[in-house]
Every structure is written in structure tokens, then in C-alpha cells.
């Protein structure tokens, strides 16, 4: 069925609400109609994510209900025990998040599947924790993470507390494709509560999550009066992060007032992604006013965190995700080592497009580093295996896109525990007369200057998607022998998998001088992403090489029309 037929089908359906039909009738642009209906919003291992609105390629209640019915059918296929274990659902601050949560709960309840929901917004890692705590078969988080305000999303977890992998995602997708947009079962919310099919989660779960998080502290020999500016960027982090820092005894936490409370418009930030320094505008302004030691920002669903560190009065250093990961590994592993608490079979996990400094630090302390495809669904798949085999003990997982988790109580990136450790780390070094910038350069002096440049080329819409495919095709077919005058020593194409790492649309080029870079399309946004890494004993030369490789690779990408 072509897009216009689908459009007309929605307009003529008795099942579609009048408001949705009005929204569709008011669209004057034919390309807009086409973009809304030329495909179904794709359900993958990240679940669903898209722009809010009417249409099959948008986030709306019909898409949510259909996806949830597909999940319900999958759970029923796994047997009576899976049905009894039930599902936990959490949501963030975005437009329609609460409504989508209720719809998902009603669909599951109508299928006889017990469903647990929170009494309000919660950070994404708390849902991962809840799956393990409540021993449910699955979990759902309604969130679009750090995307702009017009987006929302729907992430699915499985019984280990980590995001679903391809096997479960494929099962759910197969069930979804059997369904039309009016096949989802439904039950009135209050009736489902009355029947015990929907249950509001007791606050004891929150308390247990906090207690488990607090157990992850490394040291109390710290300056608890360290001056910190924190912004939750109008998301879910405000209460949990402030609670944890207060419980740890930090007395000088300063909140950005304009970004303290939930706001689905993200009016002061627009693109609420702390991976980019623009998100720190308000926080840095406050930090300069009070001469704060550290600036911390979490994204709207509080699974990612980034920091600025004071260099000198009025000036702040912007740490990237690789540097933050390296600092955390350095602090955590050295702290555990001092207490003789590094497990004999301890291991960290990073993604294949994350830099090698953290790996180098870990291996210097006899901790093995494993690599997976991007995404915490893959990073946490290894500790899920190790839980059964006991081959390794998971210590830390991270990726360059400011996602980190320490400990095994959560199986997803967790900005609550990471914020706690980052503040503790800064307080530890402050007591010893050092800033985090000082420590970063201590690490460089010890291990070499690992430098990087990470960037995205945004190409939206149908034509943008096609151009991204052409770019990847061009790189695959070109057999490049050198970049920036440095010969290629190895090209790795993950299209069909590589060694122990699964298949993904990623190309990695290793150069003869030890530099390397990767290109891949984003799995959740209309972008092609570029990751460049070099190592040199000279910082200036390392930065030069990054820029030279960047210029050459971008010229080759942009030549693809």
C-alpha cells in the first residue's frame, strides 16, 4: 500500500480519533504527508523513536498500542510464567509520555499481563533496576532520551534488566507486523487497577535503588564542601541526583533554577543533550558566578551525564565522553586497587567506536576490556552472560556518547550513580590539591595523548536517509589506501559481524601510525556519525593529526550527493 492509500485509510477509519483526522486534513504539504505514511515507524533493538504526530511514521497512541500488543503477544509466546512475571513501565517528562505509559499499561492488562507503573516520572536506569527488583519478564521506558521536544520514544527491556537484543526485538517485530492499527486489546485503566492487573509501584523500590547506588562509593576521604553546579536540563534527574548527592554528604550543590523542574518544551536548551557544550550555557553561567569546581549535567531521562571542570577562575574545560570514561576508570580501578577489591576476573566493557584510553588504563591494572557494538543493550549483554558463566566480574561499562554504568545493580547506562562518582572523584582530587583537568593531564603524561574528534552530519527526511546509505556504499566500494597521507593498515567492515562482535552498519579504518576512525549511521537519529582517534606523545601533533584526518574524511563524505 502506498503512502497516499495509508493516509486515506486513516482519514476514513472509524477507529481513528477526530483530532487525529483533523491534524491530517490540515497538512498542506504533500511531502509532509508522504513522510508521515511512506513507512511504519521502525521497531528495532532500540524500540521506537520518532516525531510526535499523526501517521504510521510518527509517535502516537496507535503506534504505541500496536507495539505493545506485539510485545504482549511475544510475552504470551514465552509461556504462562512470563505472563505472570509481568512488565514494569516508566516514563520521562516529554509530551505524551504519561499518556503513552497509560496506553501501554492498558494494552498489557487487557492481555492478562500484570503491569507495574510508577506514580510519576523516573530516570531510565530506575526502570532497569525495577525489572531486576520486581523480577518482571520485561520493562518499557517511554522516553526520547536527549532528542528535541518534538520527539518521543519507547524502549523495551527484557528480564535481565537490559534493553532487548535482536532475538527478542525480532520476535516483537514479527508480532507487530501481523497487526493492524486497531488490533490492540484495551481495558479501562481504573478497572485494570481494581482487578490487580495494574499496580502502582511502592516507594520502597526507590529507596532500595538509592541504597544500592550509595553502596558504589569508592572513598570518603574527600572534600564534601566541593562547589558543584548541577542541571537536570528540565528532565527526570532533579530528585534522584540531588537525593544521592545529599545522602553522600555533599553540602554545596547549586541547581540551575531555570532548568530545575520538568519542562517538556526544554525552553532554555532546545536540544537537551549534554554531550554538546551548548547545553551547558545556563549551568556554566552560574558556575562562573559562584566559581564552582565542577559542572554536572544529566540528559532528560537521566541515563547520560557530562561535566565541565574548572581550569582557573572563570574558565571551564569541556570534557568529552571518552575523557570522562577514562577519568572514571582511572579513579574507580585505582580506588578499588588500593583496597584490594579489584576482582581477579574483573572486566570493563566499551563499544567499538569508543576510544582506547580507558582500555589502556584498565589493562595496566590487570582488568580485561571487552568491546561490543554500540549501545548499552550490547554493552550489558556481556555481564548478563557472565552472571551465568562466572567467567568475568563486570565492573564498569561505557561508551563515548556520555553513557556510563558502575556496578551490577543496573543493566543500562545510569547517570545517577555516574553523577555520584563524578562528584566524589572531583572531591577526592580537590582534597589533594588537584582539579579534574590536572588529573586528565596526569593520565596523558602516563599513557600518552589520546585525542579524538566525534561529530555527526544531520541528514533528515527521506532524501537524507538515502544519502546516508549512499555515503556508506561509497566508502565500502572505494577501497581507500590512505587518509591524510597515512596508509590504511586494516579496514574492518562490521556488516556481517567481525570476530566475536555482531553485525552492524559500521566501517572502521586503522591507519599505520596507530590512528583509526569509524563511520556509521545513527540507529536512532537522522545522522551519519564520524569518530576519529589518534595517539601521540606530543599533544600538539596529536591534535593536528585529528584535524588532518577529519578534513580528508569529510571531503570524501560530502562528495556523495
pLDDT at 136 over 90: yes
Question: Which one, of 431, 225, 449, 216, lies nearest residue 335 by Cα?
Answer: 216
| Model confidence band, residue 524 (pLDDT cutoffs 50, 70, 90) | confident
* Residues 150-209 pLDDT 10s: 999 999 999 999 999 999 999 999 999 999 999 999 999 999 999 999 999 999 999 999
Give dist(CA 273, CA 277) in Å, integer: 9
CATH superfamily of 209-319: Alpha-D-Glucose-1,6-Bisphosphate, subunit A, domain 3 (3.40.120.10)
Q: Which alpha helices (DSSP H) does 432-538 contain, by range?
A: 436-447, 461-478
pTM of the model: 0.95
E strands, 352-447, are 368-372, 393-399, 403-406
Q: Dihedral (C-alpha) 464, 320, 122, 189: value to the nearest 10 degrees?
A: 10
Report whether 115 contacts 86 (CB < 8 A). Answer: yes
User: Which triple of cell numbers denotes residue 112?
Assistant: 492478562
> Of 3.30.310.50, 1.25.40.10, 3.20.20.450, 3.40.50.720, which CATH number belongs to 449-558?
3.30.310.50
Q: Is 78 exposed, middle or buried (0-12, 13-18, 19+ CB in 10 A)?
A: middle
Pairing of strands 368-372, 346-351: parallel
| Model confidence band, residue 312 (pLDDT cutoffs 50, 70, 90) | confident
* Residues 66-101 pLDDT 10s: 999 999 999 999 999 999 999 999 999 999 999 999
Decide: helix, strand or coil at residue 138: strand
Give dist(CA 438, CA 426) in Å, integer: 11
Percent of the chain residues topping a pLDDT of 90: 96
Residues whose CB is less than 8 angstroms from the CB of residue 533 and which lie 6 or more positions away in sequence, other chains included: 355, 356, 450, 451, 452, 515, 516, 517
Domain 39-202: assigned CATH number: 3.40.120.10
* Residues 258-295 pLDDT 10s: 999 999 999 999 899 999 999 999 999 999 999 999 99
Chain centroid to CA 499: 25
From 97, 128, 138, 145, active-site residue: 145
Q: For position 11, what pLDDT does the model report? A: 96
Report whether 116 contacts 202 (CB < 8 A). Answer: no
- Burial pattern 515-533, b for ≥16 Cβ within 10 A else e, equals bbbbbbbbbbbebbbbbbb
- Rounded to 5°, angle at Cα 175 from 147 and 179: 90
Q: Please, what is the end-to-end C-alpha distance for the chain in angstroms?
A: 29
Give dist(CA 471, CA 341) in Å, integer: 47
Pairing of strands 115-117, 198-200: parallel
Domain 322-447, architecture per CATH = 3-Layer(aba) Sandwich (3.40)
User: Which triple of cell numbers denotes residue 235?
Assistant: 528532565
For the chain, what are the domain ranges? Answer: 39-202, 209-319, 322-447, 449-558
pLDDT at 14 over 90: yes
Query: Is 145 an annotated catalytic residue?
Result: yes
Residues whose CB is less than 8 angstroms from the CB of residue 315 and which lie 6 or more positions away in sequence, other chains included: none
Average pLDDT, the chain: 96
User: Which triple of cell numbers denotes residue 151?
Assistant: 520527539
Can 39-202 and 449-558 be said to share one CATH topology? no
Rounded average pLDDT over 508-514: 96
Q: For the chain, give the longest Cα–Cα distance.
A: 70
Rounded average pLDDT over 533-547: 96
Q: For position 292, what pLDDT does the model report? A: 97
Q: What is the CA radius of gyration of the chain?
A: 24
Amino acid at each position: 500500500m502506498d503512502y497516499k492509500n495509508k493516509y486515506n485509510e486513516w482519514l476514513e477509519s472509524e477507529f481513528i480519533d477526530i483530532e487525529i483526522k483533523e491534524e491530517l486534513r490540515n497538512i498542506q504539504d504533500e511531502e509532509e504527508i508522504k513522510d508521515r505514511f511512506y513507512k511504519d515507524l521502525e521497531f528495532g533493538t532500540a524500540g521506537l523513536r520518532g516525531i510526535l504526530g499523526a501517521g504510521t511514521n510518527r509517535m502516537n497512541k496507535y503506534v504505541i498500542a500496536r507495539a505493545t500488543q506485539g510485545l504482549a503477544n511475544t510475552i504470551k509466546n514465552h509461556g504462562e510464567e512470563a505472563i505472570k512475571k509481568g512488565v514494569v513501565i516508566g516514563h520521562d517528562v516529554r509530551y505524551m509520555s504519561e499518556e503513552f505509559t497509560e496506553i501501554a499499561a492498558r494494552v498489557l492488562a487487557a492481555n492478562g499481563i500484570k503491569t507495574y507503573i510508577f506514580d510519576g516520572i523516573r530516570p531510565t536506569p530506575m526502570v532497569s533496576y525495577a525489572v531486576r527488583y520486581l523480577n518482571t519478564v520485561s520493562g518499557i521506558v517511554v522516553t526520547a532520551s536527549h532528542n528535541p521536544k518534538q520527539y518521543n520514544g519507547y524502549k523495551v527491556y527484557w528480564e535481565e534488566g537490559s534493553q532487548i537484543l535482536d532475538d527478542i526485538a525480532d520476535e516483537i517485530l514479527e508480532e507487530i507486523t501481523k497487526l493492524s492499527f486497531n488490533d490492540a486489546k484495551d481495558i479501562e485503566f481504573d478497572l485494570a487497577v481494581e482487578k490487580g492487573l495494574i499496580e502502582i509501584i511502592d516507594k520502597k523500590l526507590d529507596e532500595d535503588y538509592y541504597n544500592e547506588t550509595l553502596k558504589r562509593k569508592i572513598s570518603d576521604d574527600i572534600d564534601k564542601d566541593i562547589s558543584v553546579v548541577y542541571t537536570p536540563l528540565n528532565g527526570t534527574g532533579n530528585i534522584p541526583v540531588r537525593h544521592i548527592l545529599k545522602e553522600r554528604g555533599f553540602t554545596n550543590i547549586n541547581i540551575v533554577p531555570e532548568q530545575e523542574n520538568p519542562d517538556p518544551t526544554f525552553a532554555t536548551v532546545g536540544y537537551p543533550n549534554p554531550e554538546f557544550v551548548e547545553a551547558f550555557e545556563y549551568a556554566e553561567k552560574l558556575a562562573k558566578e559562584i566559581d564552582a569546581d565542577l559542572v554536572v549535567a544529566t540528559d532528560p531521562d537521566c541515563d547520560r551525564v557530562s561535566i565541565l571542570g574548572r581550569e582557573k577562575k572563570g574558565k571551564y574545560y569541556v570534557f568529552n565522553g571518552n575523557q570522562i570514561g577514562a577519568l572514571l576508570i582511572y579513579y574507580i580501578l585505582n580506588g578499588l586497587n588500593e583496597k584490594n577489591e579489584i576482582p581477579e576476573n574483573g572486566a570493563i566493557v566499551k563499544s567499538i567506536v569508543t576510544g582506547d584510553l580507558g582500555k589502556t588504563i584498565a589493562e595496566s591494572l590487570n582488568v580485561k576490556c571487552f568491546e561490543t557494538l554500540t549501545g548499552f543493550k550490547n554493552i550489558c549483554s556481556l555481564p548478563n552472560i557472565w552472571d551465568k558463566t562466572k567467567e568475568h566480574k563486570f565492573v564498569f561499562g561505557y561508551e563515548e556518547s556520555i553513557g556510563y554504568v558502575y556496578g551490577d545493580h543496573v543493566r543500562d547506562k545510569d547517570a545517577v550513580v555516574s553523577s555520584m562518582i563524578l562528584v566524589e572523584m572531583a572531591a577526592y582530587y580537590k582534597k589533594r590539591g588537584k582539579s579534574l583537568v590536572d588529573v586528565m593531564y596526569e593520565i596523558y603524561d602516563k599513557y600518552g595523548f589520546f585525542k579524538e574528534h566525534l561529530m555527526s552530519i544531520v541528514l533528515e527526511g527521506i532524501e537524507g536517509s538515502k544519502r546516508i546509505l549512499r555515503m556508506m556504499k561509497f566508502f565500502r566500494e572505494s577501497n581507500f589506501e590512505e587518509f591524510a597521507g597515512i596508509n590504511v593498515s586494516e579496514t574492518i567492515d562490521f556488516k556481517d559481524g567481525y570476530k566475536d562482535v555482531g553485525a552492524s552498519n559500521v566501517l572502521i579504518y586503522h591507519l599505520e601510525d596507530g590512528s583509526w576512525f569509524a563511520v556509521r549511521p545513527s540507529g536512532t537519529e537522522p545522522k551519519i556519525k564520524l569518530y576519529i582517534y589518534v595517539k601521540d606523545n606530543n599533544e600538539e601533533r596529536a591534535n593536528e593529526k585529528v584535524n588532518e584526518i577529519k578534513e580528508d574524511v569529510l571531503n570524501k563524505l560530502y562528495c556523495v550527493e
